Structure 1
Amino acid sequence: MRWLAVILVLVLAACTTKMDKAGRTESTVDPKYLLKSEVDRIADTNRAEVVTGLLLIADKLYKRNPKEWKKSGAVSREAAVERLRQRQFRSWPEFSGLREGAVASLAFTEVYAGDRVMALMFGLLGMVDAAFEHKDEFYILDSLNEMKLYNSARNMDIAIWKLGHDRNAAGELFLLSNELDPANRNLSYEREFGRVMGLLDFMAKVVADRNGRTFSRLSQSVASAIFLPVSFLK
């Protein structure tokens, strides 16, 4: 009986009223609406915002580090960002099958000579894809893991720390991002990463509440941290 009541509420909520050609009103139901809970719709929006935020960061990084997209063979900065948007895993043999944290870490490795923006952002996007179970839309029977979302958020924190601190043997940052010069201060990268982290943390809390679980917030120093696992969590 409880499920019957839930379905009835969803049907009523999904009904919309419109005018037919004769000027009469009629109700219609969007079938997709019936298959989505409130949490599903939140997840749809959250995922889209997170991915959009990461692609914006990628574009900004390419603007400050134009030599990187040229390394990948892209014809333009926009084309390089589009490659990330599509993110077909087999498109980058230079990653040797690595994903997520293992790929992102290449961006801060002395021996890596490829596109560092591509490596970092491909890794971060892969973490987000895994946290959202590689789905673009969510329905009533779909489930998410709050720890995957939480770990993805922490990895954004680690990424912004590495961007500002990891350097090569010559003492140069591997990738330019925030500008701390008082005359030309720019913290837009950190702000956008912060927004992405907030979205992921919010989604983790929503999922934990729905699952009737709590999770421990890890206490660690980003200065010594490595990217946390996402795909391998159950």
Structure 2
Amino acid sequence: MKKINWLLGLAIVLVAMQSCMKNKNDSPSTPVAGLMAFNLASDKNQVGFDIGGNVFTPQPLNFLNYTGVYNGIFVGTRTLTAFDAMTNSSIASANTTYEEGNYYSAFLIGTSNNYRTLVVADSLDSLDAVAGKAYIRYINAIPDSTAPTVTVTANDAPVNSGVLSYGHISRFMPVNVGNVTITTSNGGNISTNRTFPVTEKKIYTILLAGNPASNNMDSVQTRYIENGTLQ
């Protein structure tokens, strides 16, 4: 299996699980997967996530916040629920089959009592560590009926351009290291762009989110996070 240096959350959980199992007559280790969760619902702050009834967000997430690491979870078909941490009421759920050793991302998207929890398999093992290359993908979490055009350039050279409907996420794509610019526009109420540096063999997720009708902190914007580093 390809060696990948992930953020530390899953590794800590794995060590803890393996230590517990060794203390119980050296039974085999418990199979686990990794899950990272994002709050991309512009009008929802203080969001928690639980899976199978067990909360795995140490702190509630405000808009555009995420768990920061892949958290270890048990494998199998399980229900992931985003909930309002202030009222402890469910917002949206999704059933997904989690496989051992794989990594997943969960996104709460939507607005105005119309929400979805999207779970995607990140398929990180399919990515090759290539000198001079990083990997990026992007999700359209802007709740709007239009399908904006998303254009990506790396060091001013075109990488990809096309429409991306609300609730869809692109595949990971290789880009040259340096400055990556991502522009999102529907020619009307959606217009955002961001330039950021990418580092060799690192993996990034770009978040396109916000309320097209707002000019405040919940307005349409572009953020990015780092998933890990290929070795």
TM over 0.5: no
Q: What TM-score comes out, normalization by structure 2 length?
A: 0.27
> Which structure is richer in relative contact order (CA contacts within 8 A, separation 6 or more)?
1
The structure whose residues are more often helix, as a share, is: 1
